[in-house]
Amino acid sequence: MAWIGACYKARSGIGITVAGTSIQSGFVIVEWYQGVFELIDMRSFSNLWFWIALAVVWSSTSHWVLGVPFDMVVRARRKGGQAEEDLETIVRVNVNRMLMIARVSGLWIMGLVSFGLTGLVLLGWVYALEFAQALFLLAFPMTLVALLSLRTASRIEREMPRGEVLRQRLSRHRLVTQLIGTVSIFVTATWGMYQNMTFGALGA
């Protein structure tokens, strides 16, 4: 029986050698994270889930104007009456809430956001961490949208527009948000393609 080797003990269980081939049985210790990495590409710009998240974030941001779903603006324009009163009420509540948070905790929030964005820039472009680059390209434009929302909320509080004027103000805010989102998606897609091409060239 020269083709059968002796049984041996290993970390992954007990095995025998048959014709030079190792057959293992017992409790096999599997490096599960290696399987996950092989199944899902953890590089952000080549990961489908990142692009899905990017699309969902900007779609939601474009739909919710100052915390108000844009379909309420459309309904108020078409029907008026109670729909318009509901729109004015919810806008007033959200504007007051946003400005209250900004006045009470604005400096702390600004400091934390600045710290986070600076950290992402350092990790992403100094230490070449692709995940940090992806987060920055997602978070920085959202910061611009937040500042735009505060500016619009301040104008609404100061001018107290109603009816058609209020709807135009919300529509203009949504348009600018969509422009920021379009530029952001374009820049992210361009940088992502450059990273993927560079990684592919290095891998080749």
Q: pLDDT-based confidence at 200, cuts 50/70/90? A: low
Phi and psi for 37 in degrees, rounded to 5? -60, -35
Mean pLDDT over 43-65 rounds to 90
Instruction: Report the C-alpha dihedral over residues 147, 149, 155, 161, rounded to 10 degrees.
Output: 170
Rounded Cα–Cα distance for residues 199 and 2 (Å): 49
Query: What is the mean predicted confidence (pLDDT) over 19-44?
Result: 50
pLDDT at site 46: 83
d(CA 151, CA 146): 9
Q: What is the pLDDT of residues 147-179, one digit of tens each?
A: 999 999 999 999 999 989 999 999 999 999 999
pLDDT score of 34: 57
Q: For residue 39, is pLDDT > 60?
A: no
Least confident of 39-43, 59-63, 120-124: 39-43
Query: What is the phi/psi pair of residue 149, to 5°?
Result: -65, -40
pLDDT at 10: 41
Structure tokens, 45? 């710009």
* 187, containing H or E segment: helix 164-203
- What is the pLDDT at residue 148? 96
Pick the range with the lowest mean pLDDT from 17-26, 38-47, 185-194.
17-26
Residue 4 per-residue DSSP state: B
For 168, phi then psi, to 5°, come to -65, -40
Q: Please enumerate in sequence order all residues whose Cβ is within 8 A of that of 148, keeping only pairs 6 or more positions apart, or say none.
A: 173, 176, 177, 180
Domain ranges of the chain: 44-203
The secondary structure of residue 16, as a DSSP letter, is E
Burial-class residue 176 by CB neighbours within 10 Å (0-12, 13-18, 19+).
Answer: middle
Query: What would the two tokens of residue 54 be?
Result: 């990017």
Average pLDDT, the chain: 83
Confidence of residue 202 (pLDDT cuts 50, 70, 90): low
Higher pLDDT, 44 or 201: 44
Task: Please say if the pLDDT value at position 126 is more than 90.
Answer: yes
pLDDT at 122 exceeding the cut of 50: yes
- Looking at residue 4, what is its pLDDT? 41
Distance between CA atoms of residues 177 and 107, nearest Å: 24
Write the pLDDT tens digit of every residue in 91-113.
999 999 999 999 999 999 999 99
3-state secondary structure of 157: helix
Q: Measure the N-to-C terminal CA separation of the chain; round to a whole number of Å.
A: 46
